[in-house]
Amino acid sequence: MQVAIVLYPGFTSMDVIGPYEVFGRLPDTDVVFVAERPGLVVNDLRSLSINAVAGLADVPSPDMVLIGGGPGQAGQMADGNLHEWLRTVDRTSAWTTSVCTGSLILAAAGVLKGRRATTHWAMLENLAEFGVTPSKERVVIDGHYVTGAGVSAGIDMALTLAGLIAGDDMAQTVQLIIEYAPQPPYHVGSLDTAPPEVVENAWRVMSA
C-alpha cells in the first residue's frame, strides 16, 4: 500500500507526523511525502522542514492520500495543480484523508461535496461553504473519506484507519509501539471543556 502525505509551506507538523508514525509501521506500507515540487518544505513555525521526496506528478495513483492543515492551508484554497491532483488521485484511491484544516483543502477541491467531515474547531463551520456537512466528531468516516479534527486527532484518525486496513490487532500493536495512551494535564482539549478565558486566549494566539 502506498500512502502519499501532502506537504505545502506552512503545514502543521503534528498533522502529518502523527499519522506518519502510525501508517509507517503497518506491514507492506510505503509512506511517501509529496509536494508540488520535491524538496524541503517548511512548517508553520518555520523551524522544521520535511523533505518531500516526490512531486505530485511522481505519485499518480496512491492507495491513500493524506493532507494536513496549518496556517499555510489558506494559500492552498485556490484551484490549481494541487486541487487537480487531489481530484485525480481521489478517483482511484482506497482512502482520501485529512487532518485539521486539510479537510478544507479537500473541500475546496470539490471531493467532499455532499459528505460529512470534520476539521479544527476554529474552522468547522467553514466546511459548509463547500457543500460539506460539518461534524464535531473527532474522526469522521463517510465512504472512503476519513477526516480528523484538529492536530492531535490525526493520531486517532490514523489508528482508526489502521484498524480498517490491517485489522484491530495490528492497529492495537501500533498503538502500543508508539505508546499512545494520552493523559493530558488539563481538560481543555475541546470547546466543550475549555473555559471562556482559555477559548479567548486561543483565538487571540491563532489570530496573531
pLDDT 10s digits, 30-39: 999 999 999 9
pLDDT at 24 over 90: yes
pLDDT of residue 121: 98
Those residues whose C-beta lies under 8 Å from the C-beta of residue 18, and which sit 6 or more positions away, are 99, 152, 154, 155, 158
- Global pTM reads 0.97
Q: What is the mean pLDDT of the chain?
A: 98
Model confidence over 36-54: pLDDT tens digits?
Answer: 999 999 999 999 999 999 9
pLDDT given at position 27: 97
Give per-residue pLDDT as tens, 72-101.
999 999 999 999 999 999 999 999 999 999
From the candidates 50, 66, 100, 174, which is the catalytic residue?
100
Measure the CA–CA gap between 150 and 70, rounded to whole angstroms: 9
CATH architecture of 2-182: 3-Layer(aba) Sandwich (3.40)
Q: What is the pLDDT of residues 136-182, one digit of tens each?
A: 999 999 999 999 999 999 999 999 999 999 999 999 999 999 999 99
Clarify whether 41 is annotated catalytic. no
pLDDT of residue 208 exceeding 90, the answer is no
Determine the residue type at 57. Answer: A
| Residue ranges of domains in the chain | 2-182
- Alpha-carbon dihedral of residues 121, 106, 83, 40, nearest 10 degrees? 60
> Which candidate, 162, 158, 116, 114, places its Cα nearest to that of 137?
116
pLDDT of residue 5: 99
The torsion region of residue 109 among left (phi > 0), alpha (psi -120 to 50) and beta comes to alpha
CA distance 113 to 131: 5
Go through the chain and tell me how many residues it has.
208
